[in-house]
Amino acid sequence: MTDAARPIKRPGLRAAVLNRVLRRYAKAPADRAPAHLDIKDDHLARGARRTAKMLKRNERVPDFMTVAPVTVPTPAGDMSAEWLYSANADRDHVILYFHGGGYFMCSAATHRPLTSRLAHGARRRVLSINYRQAPEHRFPAWLEDAVSAYRFLLAEGYAPSKIALGGDSAGGNLVLITLQQLRTEGLPMPGAAFCISPWADFACESPSLIRNNPRDVMFSGNGLRALARYHTATHDAKHPLLSPVHADFSGFPPLLIQASSTEILRDDSRRVAARARAAGVNVKLEEWHDLPHVFHLFSEFIPEGPKAIRHLTAFVQQHT
């Protein structure tokens, strides 16, 4: 059984308020999803547009942060990305970050509240990429883009030992499948990796998908299963490059995983940690009690977010 450290046993008042708001405006609509919901391309397109509009305010960054656009070459063409850094950044070290969003929504810009804090706290440059997503693109498009971004950093002169991979939700999935692909292609492993609430089982077999469904304030099990069916329509849902809970973690770098104790994806994190530990990986799992999925994005409102990010930056500084 994987040990899980719980840095905060009970959420503060602000987190409790946030949970109530999310339960009303995010979970209640999600709970209306039928058990056999069939997601179509236009559903994803509409959802992505609504999310982009809702998260427009996230594109703001603190005055002490610099955001610079960059183009990353890939076999499919140029990919947009952005550098985030502050004046104290060590130019020899970098974090390659993969945003979440179910592989169909969000972007590097929507995740600036998280990536800017990572950059400033770790004193690292962060490369946040806009990998290809559904409905226009399907697996393995995002994996190909992630590996291309890593190759880009190597070509820029970054030593593998000074690179950290990080991502949240679907981006956490992308971290874990990218590490597999780097090993397959014979590329050197990065110095460290971290995942925030990774979606790691597209077969949706983790017990928390059922047990935590009443407690999760954002997502429903039915909605997640429907999205998984969409992504795995022509693939084996248990393939390790879709569901890294079934992957071989041999040779992976030190790994830090953070998740909420009450989210439906909690046991994806537990299963990843157990799988990694069995392969001899230096892995740590932190479970933060009764907080929303990827609560780090709410750092302007709840103190638990900045504290969790400080744990991430300390881990990155220790291992890269």
Q: Residue count of the chain, please give it.
A: 320
DSSP strand pairing (192-196 vs 163-168): parallel
The answer to whether the beta carbons of residues 291 and 298 sit under 8 Å apart is no
CA-to-CA distance for 108 and 85, rounded, in angstroms?
14
Closest CA to 130 of 114, 116, 148, 118: 148
CA-to-CA distance for 19 and 215, rounded, in angstroms?
10
Q: What is the DSSP string of 30-42?
A: HHTS-TT----HH
Burial of 141 (0-12, 13-18, 19+ CB in 10 A): middle
The answer to whether the beta carbons of residues 181 and 209 sit under 8 Å apart is no
Q: Is 263 a catalytic residue?
A: yes
CA-to-CA distance for 265 and 77, rounded, in angstroms?
33
CA-to-CA distance for 221 and 177, rounded, in angstroms?
23
Q: Which of 82, 144, 263, 286 is catalytic?
A: 263
CA-to-CA distance for 78 and 86, rounded, in angstroms?
26
Q: Is 169 a catalytic residue?
A: yes
CA-to-CA distance for 82 and 67, rounded, in angstroms?
6
The answer to whether the beta carbons of residues 188 and 150 sit under 8 Å apart is no
Torsion sign over Cα 231, 234, 238, 242 = negative
Q: Which of 111, 120, 293, 296 is catalytic?
A: 293
Q: Which of 107, 116, 169, 260 is catalytic?
A: 169
Q: Which sequence positions are flagged as catalytic?
A: 169, 263, 293
